[in-house]
Structure 1
Amino acid sequence: MKSAEVSILVTLTIAIDFVMGELKGAFVMPHGGIALDPSKFHTTNKTALEEAWKIHTACAQIGRIVTELQPDLILLSTPHGISDMNNFLLYLNPKMEGYANTDNTGPPPYVSVSVNSDVNVSRDLVQHFGSKRNVSGLSAYGPPEESTEPFPLRWGEVIPLHFMPNLNQTKVVILSQPSRRYNDDMPTMIPELLKLGSDIGKYFKSEKKTAVVIISADLAHTHSKDGPYGYSNAAQPFDDACGKWVENLDEQSLTKEAASYVIKAKSCGYTGLVMLQGLLSASSDGITSWQSQLYANYHPSYYGMMVASFLRK
């Protein structure tokens, strides 16, 4: 092929990518307050404190990566937002803001974020999926897309977004997981979550905007008998299976192995991880078009916290 033809082909490829948009990357980030500022983590365990700092450093690194990617928008999945019993919700206020504690158990100091919502994308997703995917929209204190009051956010959204340096330049779309995730039949949601993730991935292929996805997720909440959910021997195997999924891009590690432990492990973020698997698999070359990296997978407190990235090869 002649150099002029190569030049035209490269230019055309870049133009197509710009017109069609793309999903530039996906990330798993914890929402435990420990990640915000480990200096305020109330522990005398040296190993736990070291792990907390590793998690914090990894979250800051994800923030820098997202800044370098310069996406038009961030789609964030939260398991601790305002939720419907059955439907996945997309928030429809033009502005969203909220706060979180640095340890999730004590008094201030707080951290806060204020973000602009891409209500056009949120509305499109609601209309695109609707009842066929159990997706609906929710507005607060006013008409959808018009309310002058901000939609309220808390730790599930605020903590991951806190690590994004240029939020004033990037719009945000928030997807809230339904509260039926708390039920013991959570594994039965797996096919639905894979399909929804796949459909979201295909949606962004057809859009003229670039995006990154952030899955707000903590892992097993049963690592300690002193924690609010007690101890379970399923906790560590669950966290290990999630880590193996990231490192090997092996769906079975997540949808079979981790699924077998999730009820006893009590992970708030599991549904978001499964949805992400479906989204990544929707790429033109499937899951193999992604390069994954596991930055941290620890439980400095009673719950597991994982930081991971999935970037295009």
Structure 2
Amino acid sequence: MNPFAFACIAPHGSELLEALAGPDPARMALTRGSLHTLGERMRAAAPGALVVLTPHGTRAEGQFTVADSERLRGTVEDHGAAVTLERRVDRPLARAIAAEALADGLPVAVLNFGTSEGPLSCLPLDWGALIPLHFMPDVPVVVINPPRGPDFTPHLRFGQALARAVAASGQRVGLIASCDWSHTHDKDGPYGYHPAAAHLDAQVADCIRRGDLESLASLDPRLVEDAKPDGLWQTLVLAGAIPSPARRVQLLSYEAPTYFGLLCAGFSTCPEA
């Protein structure tokens, strides 16, 4: 069963935001258009809350972190401009997700800042969450940061716990896996060039197109190290949350206009699942 109103894989490059696109707005135009499409589909699904899986939030080594502050607020800057976004947190849903995962023996840290509630209870909204949320409906959110590591079994199990908590909530909930892919496409990028980037991204796009997300857990660890993706962990949580028979996948676009790969895909409900 797929308990989510709509789910997607969405990237988080800063130039995807029109205000931060700089002197070459066409550089990420394909992906930007796909993000607008994902946002329209999410709005049509009318979720009351959004769960965002991000690789760049507040991290705790070896643990899944779940934001449980009153609010999240962040700013992304590029090309001399800035975009700020603030969202309320769906705290009952955040706590239910954390409790379900903890009951399954998974390592989870529930995070807050400043005060237990009220205006000072505000955690940073990282760019991995802020950028896809910019295209989505303005509803309360739950932001989760999965740990990184070579063992993906906890991520699949966390996704299953997430799905159980969402189903039990009775809410319409959207799910966003915020993922950029290989970061070694360009010799002038911060991680340099490696041919593994194109190879890994081609495999990822094929797996997602076929709806076979679980195969991403079997990627060669050396290929992963050389290509430096940051999307595997969030995608495998999504794989646990939406079982294979319940996936109807559409890969909208893939491009690598800069040093990292950008992919957009939507996951709608299969009525027969």
Shift of 1:260: 5.9
Structure 1 residues 115 and 253: CA distance shift in structure 2, 3 A: same
Deviates more, 1:124-133 or 1:291-300: 124-133
Gap regions ≥5 residues in structure 2 = none
- The 2-side partners of 1:63 and 1:115 are apart by 16
Q: How does 1:129-208 map to 2 (within 5 A)?
A: 129-130=101-102, 132-143=105-116, 145-146=117-118, 148-164=120-136, 166-167=137-138, 170-178=139-147, 181=148, 186-188=149-151, 190-208=152-170
CA RMSD, Structure 1 to Structure 2 (Å): 2.2
Q: Which has the larger radius of gyration?
A: 1
Confirm or deny: 8 A CA contact 2:101 2:162 kept in the other structure.
Answer: no
- Structure 1 stretches (4+) deviating beyond 6 angstroms? none
Structure 1 residues 310 and 226: CA distance shift in structure 2, 3 A: same
Shift of 1:258: 6.7
Structure 1 residues 152 and 40: CA distance shift in structure 2, 3 A: same
Match of 1:10 in 2: none
Shift of 1:147: 5.3
The structure where helix makes up a greater share of residues is 1
Confirm or deny: 8 A CA contact 2:93 2:165 kept in the other structure.
Answer: no
Which of 21, 33, 47 lines up with 2:14 in the alignment? 33
Which of 105, 110, 116 lines up with 2:88 in the alignment? 116
- The 1-side partners of 2:131 and 2:20 are apart by 16
Q: Does 1:299 align with 2:256?
A: yes
Confirm or deny: 8 A CA contact 2:252 2:265 kept in the other structure.
Answer: yes
The letter of the residue matching 2:98 is V
Structure 1 residues 171 and 40: CA distance shift in structure 2, 3 A: closer
Q: Helix, strand or coil for the counterpart of 2:4?
A: strand
- The 2-side partners of 1:244 and 1:35 are apart by 23
Match of 2:190 in 1: 228
Q: Helix, strand or coil for the counterpart of 2:150?
A: helix
Confirm or deny: 8 A CA contact 1:74 1:214 kept in the other structure.
Answer: yes
Confirm or deny: 8 A CA contact 1:58 1:307 kept in the other structure.
Answer: yes
Gap regions ≥5 residues in structure 1 = 1-16, 44-48, 282-286
- The 1-side partners of 2:213 and 2:130 are apart by 29
Shift of 1:239: 0.9
Shift of 1:228: 0.6
- The 1-side partners of 2:163 and 2:72 are apart by 24
Q: Helix, strand or coil for the counterpart of 2:38?
A: helix
Deviations 1:260-296 (A, max 9, x none): 6212111112110111111111xxxxx1222111111
Q: Helix, strand or coil for the counterpart of 2:169?
A: coil
Structure 1 residues 259 and 147: CA distance shift in structure 2, 3 A: farther
Confirm or deny: 8 A CA contact 2:100 2:162 kept in the other structure.
Answer: no
Shift of 1:199: 1.9
**Alignment identity in percent?**
26
> Number of matched residues?
269
Q: Helix, strand or coil for the counterpart of 1:22?
A: coil
Deviations 1:147-193 (A, max 9, x none): 534221131111011111x31xx210010123xx2xxxx322x1111
Deviations 1:67-95 (A, max 9, x none): 11001110001100111112111111111
